[in-house]
Structure 1
Amino acid sequence: MNISARNSFPGTITALAEGPVNAEVELSTAGGDRIVAVVTEGSVRSLGLAVGKPVVAYVKAPWVMVMAGQENVRFSARNHLAGTVQQVTRGAVNSDVVVQLPGGSLVHAVITNEAVLELALKPGAPASVLFKASHVILGVPA
């Protein structure tokens, strides 16, 4: 399957909290990175989601925020993952920033060129990525 989302996190469901409308799904990648998704109960049923099941989490690059410095800040975004900038590809207005997580996953974020300068993002610099659990799309092998 081809997909336009730049970020793909294959993993295994490690926790599933179901509610009357939505469910919170936690997955762990092979490298130990943890991703949280919020999906509908309909999706839980139609995808057959359960603890221990393999799943792939997808996140579009424009939905990813990048933070540098001030690691003592708390956010409502469930996914806050620290890593190191691997690459910055500058465009006319936006840049593609690639952050490598400790578990080896690469996260692409599309942010403004101005933000790249303000945050002093360059290869080797520490940075965190943030994205909302509701921005995570789950898929299962067919």
Structure 2
Amino acid sequence: MLNFAAVRRTTLVGLIAATMTIPVFSQEVNSTAAPVLRADPDYLTMINVFTPTSGTQDEVATAIQKGLEDSVSHLPGFINATVHKSHDNEYVVVYAQWKDQASVDAAVEAIQGGGAPAMMQAFTIANPDFHPYDVLSVHVAKEERRP
């Protein structure tokens, strides 16, 4: 059982802000979705790095995706999340944006209350490290360089 007292509030906030066995979620459900990254100081951006226990990278990513798809993405204030799997099988990184801190706080309460069991599963099989950020700028390829 996860000891919430031992997990910093920022860690819980980051977990919520989290989108891998990949075919189920990102390639089928969200294959054409393109998250809009906003350089908006009123948005809360979280970059979340999960370090799975040995051999559980896919399980961690799947738990995060399930939690996002089944519950977190339906919460007020959730904007988007992308899940990234490192090539060395050592990390799962989640980039997410929320409307504001109040939305994140409400989501933390929902998860703590049992509203997203798959997200809690990710905590039991990975060591999370989360930090809030401000997006300073967003850059895209210039028209002449796009394929």
The answer to which structure has the higher helix fraction is 2
**Pairwise TM-score range, normalised by the shorter structure:** under 0.3
The answer to which structure has the higher strand fraction is 1
Question: TM-score, length-normalised on structure 1?
Answer: 0.25
